[in-house]
Amino acid sequence: MPQLAFPTQTVTPSQWLSVLENDDIDALCRVNDTSSNQAVMAGKFFTLETDPASREILIHLKHLPMKDQQVLNQVTQCCGDETLALAGFLSRYFSEQNITKLNTVIGSAATAASARLDAFETAVVNYQKALNHLWSLSHNNHIGRGHAARIHKARLEVKKAYQQLQHRFAIELRRYAPEAWRAKNRGDAFSNSERGITLATRNPKSQTKDVRLNLENRLQASQLKVMSRLINHAGNMAIGLDASLRALKVMDIQEDGGDWMRESARQITGFGFGGALGLVIGRATFAAGSSVVAASGLTMAGPVGWIVLGTLLAGSLVAGYYAGSAMDRFGQERADWIMNR
Amino acid sequence: MNSELTETIISIAGIGSFLVMAISWISFARISMTAIEKRMAADGLPRPCSWDGVGARAFWIANAISLPVGSLLNPSWDLSIDSITVRRYATRFDCRLGFVFTISGYGCAAICLIGVALGYAN
């Protein structure tokens, strides 16, 4: 996963990355077209990976105009990893194309056009329309008490439209932050727009530690989606398989002339106990494991976090399986116990 | 204690708690879970559990809303469910039903594990 760093003060790579081996420092410097004793200016990009994709990203960013690079640096200082969420949000809602679309709806009185807007865009359009209405009322040179009342009402409309816009802004912005960050309470900068404004106007010279811009690999994200779909299907298939095997057992006993109704009752009870309690114990294992991981501080993003997640999942699946088997036998015994009374 | 009496107690307790769990599972899934997910979808949030193979998310959601956050069985860092967001969308009825479901589920599991340990599953 490509990683960019922005040093907060002018520093040489050999000082800044002193925790790494000298060979690694030299490799990184080669990728960044610098040397380990040459100072890197504060606010310049420095990539921390040596693969070709990172190099391409670095070259692409270096060709930005100087002013844009400075703005990018300041935004990442304030917002850290949330910068990517903000970028996604802005490119979705305030690209040239989208602004044109919004302006068309604001200008027209037709309601059919506004059916194509989503909730945030509707809030923006309503706010703009309220402002336009207030402007036209204030500039049409009427006077009188009726007119003043109309202007007062228009002001209230503007305030209401702005509140709706703030509410929608917070909701939509949060969609661009990955779920793992939201669960870890890292969306604070965007929990409401006032907080966002406060952070954006914070003193950019504050001495916080280096901010890294993680560029999520889109391929990884889509692989995660495929994996979750596979897990969903595998879960359903496992239940189907269990049920079929039990049905086969009952049918075998029926063919041999045995007491298949008793066996059927046993198997159904076992199915219920095994399935349900296997889930319960699997959940308990996963939750307890997550508590332990959080307490020990292993909650990291990226590949390390995924290894932890994989271990937790595997552990809970194994626990669920063994518990489910034991519960299955227990359930069958209970069915026998009832039938023997 | 008389082993037949023990077996009777474990069996009745196990089957009884299983029935309570089953009924509260179905009612929670049909009443509370669908309501919570509908509310979250109306606010534009994605599903609370992005991975769910076998429909176990009813139990996860019930855990998240009825147990205190940060406890052993409802951690604040959990990659399978966003418990903090889900809690905001749960009414008091949902919390109470979820509590019944959670307690009966874990209680049944505990009783059955005791039964297995005592050798009643062979």
pLDDT, tens digit, 9 for 90 and up, residues B27-66: 999 999 999 988 888 887 878 887 776 778 899 999 999 9
Lowest-pLDDT choice from A102-106, A319-323, B25-29, B95-99: A102-106
Residues of A in contact with B115 (CB under 8 A): 330
Instruction: Find where tokens 């907060």 sit.
Output: A8
Contact between chains at B73 and A287 (C-beta distance less than 8 A): yes
Kindly state the average pLDDT of the residues A202-216. Answer: 42
Kindly state the average pLDDT of the residues A47-51. Answer: 76
Contact between chains at A333 and B77 (C-beta distance less than 8 A): no
User: Taking CA atoms, what residue in A is nearest to B103?
Assistant: A280
Q: What is the pLDDT of residues A32-44, one digit of tens each?
A: 888 777 777 766 7
Give the integer Cα–Cα distance in Å for B3 and A336.
Answer: 17
Mean residue pLDDT across chain A: 73
User: Taking CA atoms, what residue in A is nearest to B67?
Assistant: A287
Read off the pLDDT band of A211 (50, 70, 90): very low
Which B residues in the span 51-80 are in contact with A, Cβ-Cβ below 8 Å? 51-54, 56, 59-60, 63, 71-80
Of B15, B59, B106, the CB nearest to A334: B15
Residues of B in contact with A309 (CB under 8 A): 79
Contact between chains at A329 and B121 (C-beta distance less than 8 A): yes
Q: Is B98 in CB contact (< 8 Å) with chain A?
A: no
Element (H, E) at A4: strand A3-6
pLDDT greater at residue A328 or residue A171 = A328
Instruction: Find where tokens 């939509």 sit.
Output: A172
Q: What is the pLDDT of residues A258-297, one digit of tens each?
A: 888 888 988 988 888 988 888 898 888 888 888 887 777 7
Q: What's residue A9's pLDDT? A: 73
Q: What's residue B105's pLDDT? A: 94
Give the integer Cα–Cα distance in Å for A313 and A322.
Answer: 14
Contact between chains at B77 and A272 (C-beta distance less than 8 A): no
Lowest-pLDDT choice from A13-27, A218-232, B60-74: A218-232
pLDDT greater at residue A240 or residue A270 = A270
Amino acid at A238: A
Cα torsion B104, B106, B107, B112: sign: positive
Q: What's residue A300's pLDDT? A: 65
Q: What's residue B102's pLDDT? A: 95
Residues of A in contact with B62 (CB under 8 A): none
Kindly state the average pLDDT of the residues A224-237. Answer: 59
Contact between chains at B22 and A276 (C-beta distance less than 8 A): yes
Kindly state the average pLDDT of the residues A316-328. Answer: 87
Phi, psi of A40 (to 5 degrees): -100, 125
Give the integer Cα–Cα distance in Å for A40 and A29.
Answer: 10
What is each CA distance from A20 to A26, A34, A243, B46, in whole angstroms? 10, 17, 55, 40
Mean residue pLDDT across chain B: 88
Read off the pLDDT band of A331 (50, 70, 90): very high
Of A235, A280, A293, the CB nearest to B53: A235
Contacts by A62-70 with C-beta closer than 8 Å and gap 24+?
A: A69/A43, A69/A44, A69/A45, A70/A43
pLDDT greater at residue A251 or residue B121 = A251
Cα-Cα-Cα-Cα torsion A144, A149, A155, A157, nearest 10 degrees, comes to -140
Q: What's residue B97's pLDDT? A: 95
Which residues contact residue A219 at a Cβ distance below 8 angstroms, ignoring those fewer than 6 apart? none
Read off the pLDDT band of A189 (50, 70, 90): very low
pLDDT at B10 over 50: yes
Q: What's residue A241's pLDDT? A: 80
Q: Percent of chain A having pLDDT more than 90?
A: 2
pLDDT greater at residue A66 or residue A187 = A66
Residues of A in contact with B73 (CB under 8 A): 284, 287-288, 291
Residues of A in contact with B6 (CB under 8 A): none
Measured CA angle at A108 (ends A116, A141), to 5 deg: 140
Q: Are A315 and A260 in contact (CB under 8 A)?
A: no
pLDDT greater at residue B54 or residue A152 = A152
Read off the pLDDT band of B96 (50, 70, 90): very high
3-state secondary structure of B112: helix
